[in-house]
Structure 1
């Protein structure tokens, strides 16, 4: 007998037929002799509709506590419907919401972006074993938590995935199954490229990076709750079969991405190349990077404008790069000149919170402005910010932005 956690996303239970198919897949797994804990999201578009209703009716006058209670109605409805359908198929089921004595997920009192109390939740999750041992299929609300005073809380984006992985860990499940509207993890978006192929497996770290940069299959925050000893997979609801192979998520989570601030230990040099309308000329950036790559010169950053390209390289390589690129400029009709700028310092800030932190660039740059530190260039991704400042300001800038990150 195995214990499986099956999480159904909103699209996989988007209407009556889909809910029945989902319930049947759970019952089929149960009839094989396995135990199943079901986690459900709100039925497709329910949460969006609730948000719109609130916006159209009370807008900003709603309190966080009220909003959390309103949003919880989507999952509250889902568990009741799913549990009823499972029972109609001949198997006992019990829905578990934050008002239940067996509710497993406890949080702090930040009702709309609650943080999980791991030890308390792990202890409470054991209560589900009593239900499972009676041959009952528990259906648990995803996304929701219960605060220290019994208030309903929400986990924010990816909350239902978090619920599934946390229960998998706490109950020592054999497998966590994420049921969604795709066959698994694809090589790219199949709606954009028809040749996209399903991956048989993907590592936790690859999945996290893919999710961080926009893939909608699984929320990156949920992966830190994946137990390395527990199998996990992503499958499509279309098959109505929890044994479908889908895409297996393999390997351990190597710990949450650390918040770090790094001052590159060596000076950086700037080479600027100019030319009229150069960005309209296909292949120019490729020519520049190819010349440097062939000579083992690493590029730390590139900034492109309408009539210029600025390249950031290690100072020790600057003279060689300067001469190589000068030869290219001379031979090119599109380029007119280049210059070798002064030495600068490079700061790199990394945090998994950047993707969901509005105003983070402002938070980082304001202390620099207040201390009269000029920013030569700044670039950002969803998890990192890179800042170039004048070399003399490097140490001071490092201390200032480090304080912001901490």
Structure 2
């Protein structure tokens, strides 16, 4: 007997037919011998309609506490309908909302973007949800919602229902979390933009987070903070009405603590190469020409950045000399590039955290201690989850220590 947490998004319960199909898939899973916890979002568009009504009737005068209570009504309706539908199919179910004594998700009092009290939530999941499962009852839990210590309703912010599912799965030590949504899985690209898009059989947590951070809306990265490495997870479409259907498996993460900041200093000494030319930003295919030359000679680029009149590349010190020679051939063989220089020895420090996307000023936090200690930054590159700093090799250890002391 395993434990399965099934989360149904708003579209998946957007009509009576879909609610019945969802409930039937849960009952079928239960009849296979598994314990099932159901997490349900508000019925499609309910939340948007509630926000519209609030804007039209109250506007900016609504308090955060009031708004959280209003927004919670969609989920509280969904769990009641879902639980009743499951029971109509012959299996006992119990809806659980924030006003229930068995409510598991405890948070602080930040009503619209609450922080979860993991320790207290773990206690309540074990005490109440696990007990219901052992009694043969299917708990149907409101997604997106929490409750503070005073009993007031809170909301978990963006991706809240997915957070609820992975959080409960984590606390139960579930075998699998199934996210039921309106897509067949994670696609190679947006099928609305390219009809050649295909479904991926699997994707890592890290890849899923990067996709989400850059616009994919299948699963919010906040939810993956609670994805345990040993708990299976997948995204499937509601249209099949079957929790066993193949979708896209989410693999990982590589470590237990998702929300840690990882700071590493590359062991290799790097060298910087600068290629210069006039108006490079508007020169077509110049990056392709450079990377093709690097590829042909089986050299690895550790970093690359572009400017108005220069392109900077970082190589391992023992490969930089060869890169210098081969890229010089490119310089003298055409009219676009005018010169190339082999510069100082470089240390590379990488700072990675999936919290960075929601952390304003993170680059300032990294660069400020370097500035205060007169360490010059040769180059800096960033994405939504990583910042990479290049400094003089002789400053590398000190820069690493300063960044680590500041962020950890």
Q: With the length of structure 1 as denominator, give the TM-score of the two structures.
A: 0.84
Q: CA offset at residue 78 of structure 1? A: 2.1
What is the rounded CA distance, in whole Å, between the counterparts of 1:30 and 1:141 in structure 2? 19
**8 Å Cα contact 1:205/1:254 also seen in 2:** no
Give the secondary-structure state (helix, strand or coil) at the position aligned to 1:299. Answer: coil
Equivalent residue for 2:273, pick from 262, 271, 274: 271
RMSD between superposed Cα atoms in Å: 3.3
Q: Does 1:122 align with 2:125?
A: no
Aligned to 1:180: 181
Structure 1 unmatched ranges of 5 or more: none
- Structure 2, unmatched stretches of 5+, are none
Q: SS state of the match for residue 349, structure 2? A: strand
Pairwise CA distance, 1:202? 4.0
1:47 aligns with 2:27: no
**Alignment check: 8 A CA contact 1:224 1:253 kept:** no
Shift of 1:269: 3.2
Q: 1:326 to 1:172 in 2, by over 3 A?
A: closer
Kindly provide the CA deviation profile for residues 294-347 of structure 1, in whole angstroms up to 9, marking residues without a partner as x. Answer: 444332211113433122233444443323222211111222222334444433
How far off its partner does 1:181 sit? 0.8
CA contact 1:142–1:160 (8 Å) conserved in 2: yes
CA separation in 2, counterparts of 1:129 and 1:186? 34
**Structure 2 CA distance, aligned partners of 1:48 and 1:144?**
16
Question: Does the CA contact (< 8 Å) of 2:229 and 2:256 recur in 1?
Answer: no
Q: 1:179/1:47 Cα in 2 relative to 1: closer, same or farther (>3 Å)?
A: same
CA contact (8 A) 1:226 1:253 kept: no
Report the Cα distance in structure 2 between the residues aligned to 1:266 and 1:200, rounded to whole angstroms: 36
**SS of the counterpart of 1:184?**
coil
Which of 377, 390, 406 pairs up with 2:379? 377
Deviates more, 1:356-365 or 1:21-30: 21-30
- Shift of the 394–38 alpha-carbon distance from structure 1 to 2, 3 Å rule, reads same
Distance apart, 1:10 and its partner CA: 1.8
TM-score (ref. length: structure 2): 0.84
The 5-angstrom pairing of residues 93-132 of structure 1 reads 93-126=93-126, 127-132=128-133
Equivalent pairs, count: 406
Q: Which shows bigger deviation, 79-88 or 305-314?
A: 79-88
- Corresponding residue SS for 1:42: coil
How far does the alpha carbon of each residue in 1:127-186 deviate from its partner, in whole angstroms, 9 at most, with x for none? 235545665443210122222332323333333223223333444545432101111233
Task: Quote the residue 1:154 is aligned against.
Answer: 155
Residue 73 of structure 1: aligned partner: 73
Please give the secondary structure, in 1, of the residue aligned with 2:294.
helix
Q: Measure the CA separation in 2 of the matches of 1:391 and 1:253.
A: 30
1:336 counterpart SS class: strand
Query: Does the C-alpha gap of structure 1 residues 129 and 319 become closer, same or farther in structure 2, counting only changes over 3 Å?
Result: closer
2: distance between equivalents of 1:299 and 1:365?
Answer: 24
Q: CA deviation at 1:356?
A: 1.6
Say which SS state the counterpart of residue 349 (structure 1) adopts: strand
Determine which of 336, 339, 353 is the counterpart of 1:337: 339
* Structure 2 equivalent of residue 168 of structure 1: 169
Partner of 2:363: 361
Seen in structure 2, the aligned counterparts of structure 1 residues 122 and 302 have a Cα distance that, compared at 3 Å, is: same
CA shift in 2, pair 1:281/1:38, >3 Å: same
- Cα distance change, pair 86–384 in 1 and its aligned pair in 2 (3 A): same
